[in-house]
Structure 1
Amino acid sequence: GRVRPAIDHRDHLDATIRSRPSQDAIVSHTTNSRYQLGKQLGAGGMAEVFVGTQSGVEGFAKQVAIKRVLPGFSEQPSFVSMFIAEARIASQLSHPNIVSVFDFTRDADARLFLVMEYVDGTTLSSLLESGPLPMSLVIFVVVEMLRGLGYAHDLPDPATGLRGVIHRDVSPQNLLVSYEGAVKVSDFGLAKALEAGGSARTAVVRGKPSYMSPEQANAEPLDGRSDLYAVGVMLWEMLAHRPLFVGEPREIFAQIFFKELPAPSSFRSRVPTDVEAIAMKLMARDRGDRYPTAEAAIEALLHCVDAPRDGRGALAHLVAERFPKAAASRSQRNSGADSTNPPRPLVAAQMTIPLGAPPKRRWRMLVGVASALMIAGVVGAVTLSQRSHGVTESDARPLVTMDASGRVASIAPVDAGSVVPMDAVATVRQADPSPPVDAAISPPAGAAEGAGSAKPVARAFGAIIVKVSPWAEVRIDGRSVGTTPLRTPVLTGKHRLQISNDNQSETIHVTVEPNKTVTVERKW
């Protein structure tokens, strides 16, 4: 029969910043001669987390996060064993998508503490509270999370020769997003190594009920597919923008065991069918019907129509946009560091193209120029026929001209004011998912080898700016390009602009002409 779930109510603390604490949380004492405690980030029933500084010789200093056991627990053998197990497992994990552990020791009062990577950012939970994510970023976040979990699931243990670590507490609260667009799995406090039979056993159910797999809620042996179930619940909630399971733990367990799971599209329109199918497969009640590995789920997600091209850059921009005060504070703190300065936008005057190159090579280079101009945010402008829908326009210069034979005729210089920062640009992809954006730029008719006319043909891009209060998801030609406010470059021609949120939607047909910018504004 089923084992009645026994919930472990201990509080789990992340290894990074949730939000900026107040000044009165500053702690004046030190853990030992190497580590100094700063502001407290959070506290639970058994441990607390601080911003810390690791000091060394010759003025060396590194910012870290310190998770320290509360007084009294360091003397309890059962808790010490659990905390040591967490430290041992976490210390083996070295992956870009997992919060790193640097040290494990005791302070002057003999209290155990972990020294961990400090991630400047927020949690996925907090990010989702600020509004839904664009579909491309939903895919990016889930893929990055799966990369970290897949690494843990495959990790060999040199001491035992066994392979695999199960997280057992995958949730939006334990997924961290940095202001640089990094995604990291945190808090392996409930992680458990696989046994020789390829599963992890436990006599007590631990974790957050809303993200437990049926086998975890039933205290059965676990493998990596249990974590994949939790990922599926998180993906479902990002698609539907609502929790999947609600109620008291007893009620949630009943839903996990017996409830027929609805599709996200039953709560929110325009959910892509390919991503929805992946979420439902990840949440299959029978683990044999799920993806066998994290890598298999990643492969499926990367084949979706809305798979991202520059997910990290777009995520960094979105986080800064939704948490402007924290991002501004971070920018001020890092104003002197080269690693955090934004890259200088690439402008046309910095590019050189040999005008005598063979036609095929010229087209390849022109495609590269067009891509670079789009990425750098050097955009032209757009004209919209529906001026009655709150549309304004502005002028811009032609960017690239070429003659009918495919020869580059000129590349116009760009004023600094027309350059959009890299992290403010979301690239629009065409309706056909197979070619990249720049592949849509094809030679004009008559551009075959030896064609002779020298009449220049302008190949400018346009830009669309969308501002909706309170917010809206934006799709262009059926593709999700982000949430408002946004500015995105587009190719010339006709485009279908769809703006929508949970309560309202509108479709606008846009005709893009060279060298015009359009702004669409709505208040719903």
Structure 2
Amino acid sequence: MASESGRYDKLAEIASGGMATVYLARTHGLGGFERLVAVKEMHPHLAKEPEFVAMFLDEARLAARIRHPNVVATLDVTEAEEGALSLVMEYVEGPSLQQILRRAVRQNDPVPIDVALRIFLDALAGLEAAHELADEQGVPLRIVHRDVSPQNILVSTDGTTKLTDFGVARADSRLSSTRTGTVKGKVPYMAPEQIRSKPLDRRTDVYAAGAVLWEMLARRRLVRAESEVAMMYQITENAAVSPREVIPEVPEAVAQVCMKALEKNPDERHASAADFADALEAAARADGVVLANARVVAAYVRTINVHRAPSALAPEGRRSTVSGISSVTGPGGTGSQEAALPAPAATPARTALTSTRDAEVEPPKKRSLRGMFVLVAVAAAALGVFVGVRYGQPSPEANGPSEGHVAQGAPIETQVPPVTTAAEPLPAASTGASAAAAPMPPPTQAAPSAVAKPAAPLSTASTLRTANPPSKGGYRPREL
């Protein structure tokens, strides 16, 4: 991408909404440093809307203050040349809770209760961290997420659950403010006071979290209707039913804790996400449920395999650039890491099927042989001149080399590109020996067979004929 001198290289689109598009990207640094990140890029047409720009900056400022292993970390904010803002966050490899629940319903394979409760308790820990956030002077920011939902709960392949998307969060220090009568969030998870546009606090998020837990236990949404208006009516007017009425196997104490979070009166709910978590852990112990740890959750995520790995998200031509790059997850900005960079592949054995491009590594050897042939030919010619002068015989080289000597003294040049083929057996040794013993024929008797033959077509079945090195006396066999 254009921002920050190309520090963030977008690899693939992960998701898109009405306000922004999220990309899988790669960040660069000194010494070959690379890391996968998620880049949330505002749509360009919204860059001229002050309200959306303020909302985007609020999300960056609020999320960047939260440093907790169960909250997706915000790393940077950039601005493109056209003015569109981008929010750089840690990339969490793994599915959303929504993907996990959809898979459970589609395959009639419910999430194990110990895994479900561990995922949910991790999300509550992240929510409590946001609620407890304060400024530099220690003044509470009174953050309300307002969009706690399965879509915004991510489960990493290392077994850690993270809360994300503070785009519509409310806080006392926000640059933007919600207009009176405006409702933000997803309707099925809204608390009654949120629908009625009444004052909100952390207990509003407790209700939304209760709706998420109810969905995990009952394997369907708490509120279902044909329109958002009908769903709002159900939330504000109808009492929620226990998940045990849908799935009788739900532990009774766990169901009671869930129903307390769904009380219409905020004063009757759990006072905080931490209180909700404490009550849920106690209920699990009372019902004999042993909570899963991160290793068990990680194994479950790998088993169901409902998310796409970074290498699968990237286009086919760029998948090699993703493999082996670490992604930031877990406490302190480090955690799960993809497989290490693969070692360079061993050079494959050369065979008759090796491609022409692969065979092009051989020319240095050919050139060295050719030089040797020329050197031997020159030495033979010099020897012939010396013998002719010594014994009074005119040298055939006196008037320039004849065509026959050129053909015999220099290697045959062909225009065939170098290929690797199976070597043809050499002539029998007896033939070469007898030819070497024969007297040197005069230049005019050069055999036409020494002239280069047309190149054979490139195929795995063809074999190139090449010149043998000259024998003693500068003579070379006429035909291979």
Matching residue of 2:95? 122
Matching residue of 1:249? 228
Matching residue of 1:101? 74
How far residue 68 of structure 1 moved from its aligned partner, in angstroms, is 0.6
| CA spacing shift, 1:237–1:41, aligned 2, 3 Å | same
SS in 2 for 1:256: helix
How far residue 178 of structure 1 moved from its aligned partner, in angstroms, is 0.9
2:211 to 233, 236, 242: 233
| CA spacing shift, 1:256–1:243, aligned 2, 3 Å | same
1:312 to 287, 294, 310: 294
For residues 503-523 of structure 1, give each alpha carbon's deviation from its aligned partner in whole angstroms, at most 9, with x where no partner exists.
Answer: xxxxxxxxxxxxxxxxxxxxx
State the one-letter code of the partner of 2:155.
Answer: V
| CA spacing shift, 1:335–1:81, aligned 2, 3 Å | closer
SS in 2 for 1:105: strand
State the one-letter code of the partner of 2:146.
Answer: R
For residues 326-365 of structure 1, give each alpha carbon's deviation from its aligned partner in whole angstroms, at most 9, with x where no partner exists.
Answer: 46979x94599996599xxxxxxxxxxxxxxxxxxxxxxx
Is 1:320–1:327's contact at 8 Å kept on the other side of the alignment? Answer: no
State the one-letter code of the partner of 1:277.
Answer: Q
How far residue 173 of structure 1 moved from its aligned partner, in angstroms, is 0.5
Is 1:201–1:222's contact at 8 Å kept on the other side of the alignment? Answer: no
Is 2:114–2:292's contact at 8 Å kept on the other side of the alignment? Answer: no
TM-score by length of 1: 0.56
1:271 aligns with 2:250: yes
Matching residue of 2:159? 181
Is 2:157–2:336's contact at 8 Å kept on the other side of the alignment? Answer: no
Superposition map of 1:15-54 within 5 A: 29-33=1-5, 34-54=7-27
Matching residue of 1:360? none
How far residue 232 of structure 1 moved from its aligned partner, in angstroms, is 0.4
Is 2:123–2:153's contact at 8 Å kept on the other side of the alignment? Answer: yes
Matching residue of 1:156? 134
| CA spacing shift, 1:194–1:136, aligned 2, 3 Å | farther
Superposition map of 1:385-404 within 5 A: none
How far residue 63 of structure 1 moved from its aligned partner, in angstroms, is 0.9
Matching residue of 2:359? none
SS in 2 for 1:193: coil
How far residue 316 of structure 1 moved from its aligned partner, in angstroms, is 0.9
| CA spacing shift, 1:336–1:253, aligned 2, 3 Å | closer
1:260 aligns with 2:232: no
| CA spacing shift, 1:325–1:167, aligned 2, 3 Å | closer
Matching residue of 2:60? 87
Matching residue of 1:59? 32
| CA spacing shift, 1:92–1:202, aligned 2, 3 Å | farther
Distance 1:36 1:195 in 2: 32
How far residue 62 of structure 1 moved from its aligned partner, in angstroms, is 1.5
| CA spacing shift, 1:310–1:47, aligned 2, 3 Å | same
Is 2:63–2:73's contact at 8 Å kept on the other side of the alignment? Answer: yes
Distance 1:315 1:215 in 2: 34
For residues 282-324 of structure 1, give each alpha carbon's deviation from its aligned partner in whole angstroms, at most 9, with x where no partner exists.
Answer: 0011011101111111111111235444421111111111117
How far residue 109 of structure 1 moved from its aligned partner, in angstroms, is 2.6
Distance 1:263 1:68 in 2: 41
Is 2:207–2:263's contact at 8 Å kept on the other side of the alignment? Answer: yes
Matching residue of 2:272? 293
SS in 2 for 1:166: coil
Deviates more, 1:46-55 or 1:274-283: 46-55
| CA spacing shift, 1:268–1:157, aligned 2, 3 Å | same
- Radius of gyration: which is bigger? 2
Matching residue of 2:192? 214
| CA spacing shift, 1:159–1:50, aligned 2, 3 Å | farther
For residues 463-520 of structure 1, give each alpha carbon's deviation from its aligned partner in whole angstroms, at most 9, with x where no partner exists.
Answer: xxxxxxxxxxxxxxxxxxxxxxxxxxxxxxxxxxxxxxxxxxxxxxxxxxxxxxxxxx
For residues 199-245 of structure 1, give each alpha carbon's deviation from its aligned partner in whole angstroms, at most 9, with x where no partner exists.
Answer: x9762110000000011111111110100101100111111101111
Is 2:93–2:309's contact at 8 Å kept on the other side of the alignment? Answer: no
| CA spacing shift, 1:327–1:320, aligned 2, 3 Å | farther
How far residue 99 of structure 1 moved from its aligned partner, in angstroms, is 0.5
Distance 1:329 1:195 in 2: 39
State the one-letter code of the partner of 2:89.
Answer: M
Higher share of residues assigned strand: 1
Is 1:30–1:37's contact at 8 Å kept on the other side of the alignment? Answer: no
How far residue 91 of structure 1 moved from its aligned partner, in angstroms, is 1.3
SS in 2 for 1:109: coil
For residues 17-59 of structure 1, give each alpha carbon's deviation from its aligned partner in whole angstroms, at most 9, with x where no partner exists.
Answer: xxxxxxxxxxxx5433221111011122221110111112222
Which structure is richer in relative contact order (CA contacts within 8 A, separation 6 or more)? 2
Is 1:202–1:220's contact at 8 Å kept on the other side of the alignment? Answer: no
Is 1:166–1:194's contact at 8 Å kept on the other side of the alignment? Answer: no
1:321 to 288, 303, 309: 303
Distance 2:9 2:309 in 1: 25
State the one-letter code of the partner of 2:86.
Answer: F
1:72 aligns with 2:45: yes
Same amino acid, percent of matched pairs: 35
How far residue 187 of structure 1 moved from its aligned partner, in angstroms, is 0.4
State the one-letter code of the partner of 2:96.
Answer: T
State the one-letter code of the partner of 1:292.
Answer: A
5+ residue gaps, structure 2, are 105-109, 313-321, 328-334, 340-480
State the one-letter code of the partner of 1:32.
Answer: E
Distance 2:306 2:59 in 1: 35
State the one-letter code of the partner of 1:242.
Answer: R
Is 2:115–2:292's contact at 8 Å kept on the other side of the alignment? Answer: no
Distance 1:328 1:109 in 2: 28
How far residue 78 of structure 1 moved from its aligned partner, in angstroms, is 1.6
Distance 1:50 1:138 in 2: 28
Distance 1:192 1:266 in 2: 35
Is 1:179–1:319's contact at 8 Å kept on the other side of the alignment? Answer: yes
| CA spacing shift, 1:335–1:110, aligned 2, 3 Å | closer
Matching residue of 1:7? none
Matching residue of 1:346? none
SS in 1 for 2:248: coil
SS in 2 for 1:37: strand
